[in-house]
Structure 1
Amino acid sequence: MAKQERALRTREALIKSAAEVFDCEGFGVASLTTISNRAGVSNGALHFHFASKAALAEAVEEAAGRRLDHVTRQATRGPNALQCLVNATHDLARGLREDVVLRAGFGLSSEQSYAGGQNLRLEWRRWVEGALKRADGEGVLTENLSAQDVMLAVVAATVGFEVLGARDATWLSYRTLTRFWQLLLPRLTPPAVLGALRAEGVHGPRSRSTAPRIGGQGSEP
């Protein structure tokens, strides 16, 4: 059992180390020697767990995919699908800021030198599309507004924040996401629904003096 636990710890250390190197240098430039040194293990130990750099990248993607799945499952806590979508974008942005595995997993989606089997940006698009279809079915979208058009706008913006945020975390800040939703939500939903929505997400600050409000003033705590 102790041997299995040690092997699991080594594998997890290699996945995290690979994510850090991929995030910093890119898949094409990253070397297995750099990854193993960063993880504090030998090249032999790395090859025992992963046959190639591509196999290691696939493991990073799989780990990142589990994190994305957790983000979207947690986002189901809300009064309607539109609020769930807002919540998910905040949680995803926070994860991309703080979790290098999630960030590297998304970054691998655009690596031309890596043809992985999992595209997290595509998975994110599919989830956003499903959330907006649910919102449309709940009647919380403005009449005659196309859920497909909204999906394109939300995905383009959030993936743009992800790409820009890789070098400037301001793009993934709570304030940036909140302002984005403050601008967009009044176009997406009737006034009767808008008043119950929180552009800062359900995990944002609840203080009236600090929480940004749709159409109002506020500052990031």
Structure 2
Amino acid sequence: MTRQGRSERTRHALIRSAAQSFDERGYVQAKLSTISAGAGVSTGALHFHFDTKAAVAAAVEAEATRTLYAFARTVQRQSPNALQALIDTTHVLAQQLSGDVVVRAGFRLNCQAAHRSGADLRLRWHACVTDLLTRARTQGSLAPDLPVAEPAGSIVGATVGFEVLAREDRSWLSAPSVTGLWQSLLPLLVVDASKRPEPSGTHPLTRVQHQNDGSPDRPTTR
């Protein structure tokens, strides 16, 4: 392995170890010595990559953001219509928050203004939901008299709430929980039952969630 390859491997190991520490202990209680030990390197090696704990946290957050964006792009490119794409995206979001410690820790850090280093992911998620609902309306999928802002707020509130509740009980981020949310919402969104999309998701990535609690291989971001 080249020196650059070893450096990248060490950096990724530090990010994952930091995510584990932030997830288990929170930002304040996480220690750089614990993070370096978890990655199997010295504290000096950690400081070669990151000057401060805030820099490590920013790297965790950035990696989580890249992963979520990559999955969202993959799902929305391949889902049959905008409303199904939204359903599939919520399933994959829950799956990643449950199964990938880097995504989970990065999302939580981003939700804390004191530690946020990038764009607010909750606001980006709200914009994504609003955009997909607007596209679904253009496609004729939504009830004609329903303002997009109402279901957008409910979907964002519920999905972000699942993440908070899952800190004590991971089942809140399970496929049945997300499916149940959509089973409740779809009759309000789509009047004609025959035209309602699949609440349990149709994208292959959502099917992985029904089979195991782990995270599938990450899609390429290239």
Q: Is TM-score (shorter-chain normalized) higher than 0.5?
A: yes
Report if aligned partners of 2:187, 2:193 keep a CA contact under 8 Å in 1: no
Verify the 8 A CA contact 1:140 1:190 in the aligned structure 2.
no
Equivalent residues in 2 for 1:31-180, closer than 5 Å: 31-76=31-76, 77-111=78-112, 113-180=114-181
**Higher RCO, Cα 8 Å, sep 6+:** 2
Deviation digits for residues 30-66 of structure 1 (CA, Å, limit 9, x no counterpart): 1111111111111111111011111111111110011
Partner Cα distance (1:96, 1:60) in 2 = 13
Q: Which has the larger radius of gyration?
A: 1
Deviations 1:91-125 (A, max 9, x none): 11111111001101111023354242232222222
The verdict on how the C-alpha distance between 1:177 and 1:192 changes in structure 2, with shifts beyond 3 A counting, is closer
Q: CA deviation at 1:193?
A: 5.6
Structure 2 CA distance for partners of 1:175 and 1:192, relative to 1, 3 Å: closer
**Match runs of 1:178-197 below 5 Å:** 178-191=179-192, 194-195=195-196, 197=197
C-alpha contact (below 8 Å) 1:26/1:111 kept by paired residues: no
Which string of whole-angstrom CA distances, capped at 9 and with x for unpartnered residues, describes residues 114-169 of structure 1?
24223222222221121111112212110111111111000000000111112211
Alignment check: 8 A CA contact 1:174 1:200 kept? yes
3-state DSSP of counterpart to 2:28: coil
Question: Contact 2:62–2:118 at 8 Å: present in 1 too?
Answer: no
Q: Following TM superposition, by how much is the alpha carbon of 1:191 offset from its aligned partner in structure 2, in angstroms?
A: 0.6
Partner of 1:9: 9
What CA distance in whole angstroms lies between the structure 2 residues aligned with 1:89 and 1:118?
19
Partner of 2:28: 28
Q: Please say if residues 106 and 119 of structure 1, whose CA atoms lie closer than 8 Å, have aligned partners that are also in contact.
A: no
Q: Given the superposition, is the C-alpha separation of residues 61 and 115 from structure 1 closer, same or farther in structure 2, using an over 3 Å criterion?
A: closer
Q: TM-score, normalised by structure 1?
A: 0.87
AA aligned to 1:37 is A
- 4+ runs of 1 displaced by more than 6 Å? none
Contact 1:108 1:114 in 2 (8 A): yes
The alignment-based identity, stated in percent, is: 46
Q: What is the identity, as a one-letter code, of the residue corresponding to 1:80?
A: N
Contact 2:110–2:118 (Cα < 8 Å) also in 1: no
C-alpha distance in 1, partners of 2:97/2:170? 9
Q: Distance in 2 between matches of 1:138 and 1:21?
A: 45
**Letter in structure 2 aligned against 1:52:** T
Is the contact between residue 13 and residue 39 of structure 2 (CA under 8 Å) also seen in structure 1? yes
Q: Which runs of 5+ in 1 are unaligned?
A: 211-221
Q: Which moved more, 1:79-88 or 1:120-129?
A: 120-129
User: What 5-or-longer segments of structure 2 have no aligned partner?
Assistant: 211-222
Taking structure 1 as reference, are residues 137 and 193 closer, same or farther at Cα in structure 2, changes over 3 Å only? farther
Kindly report the root-mean-square deviation, in angstroms, between the aligned alpha carbons of the 2 structures. 1.8
Paired residues in the alignment total: 205
What's the TM-score, normalizing by structure 2?
0.87
